[in-house]
A and B are shown apart, each in its own frame.
Chain A
Amino acid sequence: MKSKSHIADTHKYNFNYENRVVLKNSGIIDPENIEEYIGVGGYKAWEKVLTQMKPMEVVEEVKVSGLLGRGGAAFPAGLKWSFTAPLKAEQKYIVINADEGEPGTFKDRLIMEGDPHKLLEGTMIAAYAVGASKSYIYIRGEYTLCISRLKKAIVQANEYGILGENIFDSGFNHEIEIKIGAGAYVCGEETALIESMEGNRGTPRSKPPFPGVEGAWHKPTVVNNVETIANVSAIINNGADWYKTLGVEGCYGTKVYTIMGDVELPGLCEAEMGTSLRTIINKYGGGMKNGKQFKAALVGGAAGVFLSNEMLDVKMDFNTLKEYEAVLGSGAILVMNEDVDIVEMLWSVIRFFRHESCGKCNPCSNGTTVLYNLIDKIRKGKGKEADLDELIRISEAMFLTSFCALGQSPLMPIKSAINNFKEDFLTKIK
């Protein structure tokens, strides 16, 4: 249980408790005590779906809510479930993608640390909806506190008969197991995650077949992000119509952001979809640190975009950002002040991709190295202006030809950095 003084402290910084869906209980209840979760209305949605709803009604409710996947790709969650739910199979699986590898993203970590039962409840609802008797939570190995809290939560849920066999006399059985990842960025890609879970080298698989049809151990498997699943119990409790009152048209609900860099209050915030970058920085990030000027924000992690101050008032949601050739991605916001050199930032982003390329496909494993060599040359003042076009040309070809999203990703940070902050590059080029 957090001390009262802790809560008082957070209020001092005017955190946004009013809008919370996913983080509603985080920092308020004791995450290691199931009774506290039940005390704030936890597992009500689970009881509701088991005792009052048919699986397809659950799928339909989530579909109508318009819940989009929060891992970065924004695929409609209900639609994903609707592919797997009608399939006849002796075994289906739910896999929770908790391999949060996008640089600067730690939202899933804090969801799991702060409210592990919320994730379990959402997982069970998803499992009931698609007819899966087993779920896996694939979690990155560094998240030791998450792992221990989730393990405790699973034990408690079993003890309370919330998980296990014939839950609430419904005849539905469910088991949740934790799988621990070994630290590869690419294993956040759902098919690579499944490969890794099966004990193989973590590299992506060809799609189709999609995991929803043929996933883990060739069985239909729904892979959802932690934050996506953490929204589900609220949708069931309050209804899809309530959910659609949050956010903007076509992109409903809230988004958990991780704000880092040159802001006064780096950390976590949950804001409605469509909140502007300016609001997030000023209201939840405490404004720019030491009164410095805003220069850029890298939104969406390494596979994100460098936004300039012209984008400060654009609504942050999946669809609007797409119109501006930007992405919301995982919701990481790295704020940079006037002193930051974008070339250095891009160098670090590309170095990350080079390091994390899995080596399966040729354009990515060789392309990321070519990109790194080029940006390293520019960074050291040995580049030419034509190298900037070359960076874009190579990353565009990688976007068109790479096996998975990893090799397709460098284009976005490269293009946005060069287009929005060309001056930084030109000063390095003699």
Chain B
Amino acid sequence: MIVYLNGKAYEAKPEETVLQLALRNGIYIPNLCFHEKTGKAAKCRACVVEIEGVPGLKTSCNLPVTDGMEVTTNSEKVLQAQRMVVDLALSSGQHDCLSCEQNGNCELQDAAYYLGIERPSFQLYDDDYEVDDSSEFIRVDRSRCISCGRCVVGCNETVVNEVINFGNRGFDTKIIFDDNLVMGTSACVQCGECVQLCPVGCLIDKRAIGSGRTWELEKVETVCPYCGVGCRLEVHIDRKQDKIIRVTGVEDSPTNNGMLCVKGRYGFDFVNSEERLTTPLIKENGKFREADWDEAIALVAGKFSDIKKEFGSDSIAGLASAKVTNEENFVFQKLIRREVGTNNVDHCARL
């Protein structure tokens, strides 16, 4: 299927939208509410384009491609409309980039940059909004909210925690938690999906505030160490301090589709903790002393051998954790069955 974008022909996939086709081919159309995961919302209205033979403008995020479609994304009519839409969004809150955590990673900033908007034309900022700092890991600053609805869809349809929704109407529309509780007392489990989906600086990782701009941090992709699900995550590291600043889920991961749980996303403070064990410890005379792995493993293996010799194989049992991987579980039962010589091996998921 051929679709023309600004006069040039592109091969389009039948299931995609005009916005997806354009972005895939490096043609930027301002968009604030669309996200591959939360889908087309057509709420922000920034992605309007002109279609040959269709009056008015159409939002490209919910417009399926059709063969031979001629799309204009950069005519003066389109740009003027986009400029007004983005200008209104910018005017709707306190979108100051200077110390915003999302600076450099903000989709509103990207749109304003593309359209050449220096500062908002209108003054709509409603300074009644207080920052909701009640929850452990997430700061909610509604003066930066553009009501894109991604967090609402993410909370209700992606992770299905059903905590966030819209409250009030019109200009006073805002995201609320449960029955308009502060986030800290709501049923929110702090999975941080909303933070990851937020295109602006409304929902942010509280502990990362002031700890480093996105372009200063090195992003390293890895697998979450906590449990056996194997969520792929990206660790944002400040190399100067060798410190993890934040963790995000990898969006195209087949395991977790960008989602993480509270541990995976926010439970990384142990990494640099002074209390963290970095070597095995052996207790002698009621006191721990540092040991190396060979010594520690030899000690444990020796004690198991002694027990086995004295009381028989069946005096030992192994219990594995559901949080380790299948491969680790396999190796563990192998150890108990073959080396210890007993079938006394079980798994906490059966208890």
Contacts of B123 in A (CB 8 A): 373
Do the beta carbons of A359 and B172 come within 8 Å of each other? yes
Partner of B171, one of A184, A206, A365, A402: A365
Tell me which residues across on chain B come within 8 A of A355, comparing CB atoms. 170
Whether, in the assembled complex, B89 has its beta carbon less than 8 Å from a beta carbon of chain A, the answer is yes
Q: Which residues of chain A have C-beta atoms less than 8 A from B124's C-beta? A: 366, 369-370, 373
Q: Is the CB of B48 within 8 A of A362?
A: no
Q: With an 8 A cutoff between CB atoms, is B13 at the interface? A: no
Q: Which residue of B has the minimal Cβ distance to A357?
A: B170
> Are B56 and A362 neighbours in the complex by a CB distance under 8 Å?
no
Interface assignment of A252: CB less than 8 Å from any CB of chain B: no
Q: Is B151 an interface residue (CB 8 A)?
A: no
Is B57's CB under 8 angstroms from A354's CB?
no
Min CB distance, B172 to chain A, in Å?
A: 7
Assuming A361-B43, A366-B124, is B85 touching A401 (CB within 8 A)?
yes
Which residues of chain B come closer than 8 Å to A363, judged between CB atoms? 45, 84-85, 88
B38 within 8 A of A: no
- Chain A positions within 8 Å of B57 at CB level: 400-401
Instruction: Specify which chain A residues have a CB less than 8 angstroms from the CB of B122 in the assembled complex.
Output: 366, 370, 373
Chain B interface main SS type: loop
- Considering the complex, which residues of chain A in the window 359-394 have a beta carbon less than 8 Å from any beta carbon of chain B? 359-363, 365-370, 373, 393-394
Residues of B within 8 A of A366 (CB): 88-89, 91-92, 122, 124, 171
> Cα distance A357–B173 when bound, in Å?
10
Within 8 Å of chain B (Cβ to Cβ): is A30? no
Q: Does A236 contact B (CB under 8 A)?
A: no
A25 to B251, CA, bound (A): 64
Contact A206 B62 (CB under 8 A): yes
Q: B-facing mask of A328-340, CB < 8 A → 1, else 0?
A: 0000000000000
For residue B92, which residues in chain A have a CB less than 8 angstroms away from its CB? 362, 365-366
In the assembled complex, how far is the CB of residue A400 from the closest CB belonging to chain B, in whole angstroms?
A: 5
Decide if A401 touches B171 in the complex (CB within 8 Å). no
Once the chains bind, are B170 and A365 in contact (CB under 8 Å)?
yes
Find out whether the CB atom of B171 lies under 8 angstroms from the CB atom of A369: yes
Q: Is the CB of B56 within 8 A of A400?
A: yes
Q: In the bound complex, what is the Cα–Cα distance between A369 and B124 (angstroms)?
A: 8
Could you mark each residue 82-103 of chain B with 1 if its beta carbon is under 8 Å from any beta carbon of chain A, else 0? 0011001101100000000000
Give the residue name and chain of the A residue nearest to B174 (CB).
Answer: A359
Residues of B within 8 Å of A206, CB to CB, are: 40, 42, 62
Task: Say if the beta carbon of B229 comes within 8 Å of chain A.
Answer: no
Find chain A residues with CB under 8 A from B43 CB. 360-362, 403
Considering only CB atoms, which chain B residue lies closest to A369 in the complex? B171
Partner of B80, one of A358, A362, A397, A398: A397
Q: What separation, in Å, do the CA atoms of A397 and B62 have in the docked complex?
A: 19
Are B85 and A184 in contact, CB atoms less than 8 angstroms apart?
Answer: no
Complexed CA–CA distance, A359 and B44 (Å) = 11
CB contacts (< 8 Å) of B170 on chain A: these are: 354-359, 365, 368-369
A401 touches B81 (CB 8 A): yes
The answer to the question of A322 belonging to the interface, with a C-beta cut-off of 8 Å to chain B, is no
User: Quick one: closest B residue to A186, CB to CB?
Assistant: B169
Tell yes or no: B183 within 8 A of A by CB. no
B48 close to A401 (CB less than 8 A): yes
For A48, list chain B residues within 8 Å (CB): none
Bits for B39-69, please: 1 = Cβ < 8 Å to A, else 0.
0101111101000000011000010000000
- Measured CB to CB, the nearest residue on chain B to A398 is B84
Measured in the bound complex, the distance between the Cα atoms of B171 and A355 in whole Å is 8
B173-227 interface with A by 8 A CB criterion: 173
A370 to B120, CA, bound (A): 12
Q: Mark A81-111, 1 if CB is under 8 A from B, else 0.
A: 0000000000000000000000000000000
Closest to B64 in A: A208
CA distance A368 to B146 in the complex (A): 15
Contact for A184 among B84, B169, B172, CB less than 8 A: B169
Let me know if B44 and A361 touch, CB within 8 A. Answer: yes
Closest to B50 in A: A400
> Whole-angstrom distance from the CB of B17 to the nearest CB of chain A?
11
A11 within 8 A of B: no
- Report B148 CB to chain A, min CB distance, Å: 8
B13-41 vs A, Cβ < 8 Å mask (1 yes, 0 no): 00000000000000000001000000010
- Set of chain B residues within 8 Å of A367, measured between Cβ atoms: 88
In whole Å, how far is B145's beta carbon from the nearest beta carbon of chain A?
A: 11
Cβ–Cβ < 8 Å partners of A362 in chain B: 32, 43-46, 85, 88-89, 92, 146-147
In the assembled complex, B304 has its CB within 8 A of some CB on chain A: no
CA A184 – CA B40 in complex, angstroms? 25
- Whether, in the assembled complex, B268 has its beta carbon less than 8 Å from a beta carbon of chain A, the answer is no
- Inter-subunit contact B88/A402 (CB<8 Å): no
* Contact between A365 and B173, CB atoms less than 8 A apart: yes
Expressed in whole angstroms, the Cα–Cα distance for A366 and B84 within the complex equals: 11
Q: Which residues of B contact A (CB under 8 A)?
A: 32, 40, 42-46, 48, 56-57, 62, 77, 80-81, 84-85, 88-89, 91-92, 122-124, 146-147, 165-166, 168-173
Known: A357-B169, A369-B170. 14 other contacts (CB 8 A): A201-B166, A206-B42, A359-B147, A362-B88, A362-B147, A366-B92, A366-B122, A367-B88, A369-B124, A370-B122, A370-B124, A373-B123, A400-B81, A403-B43
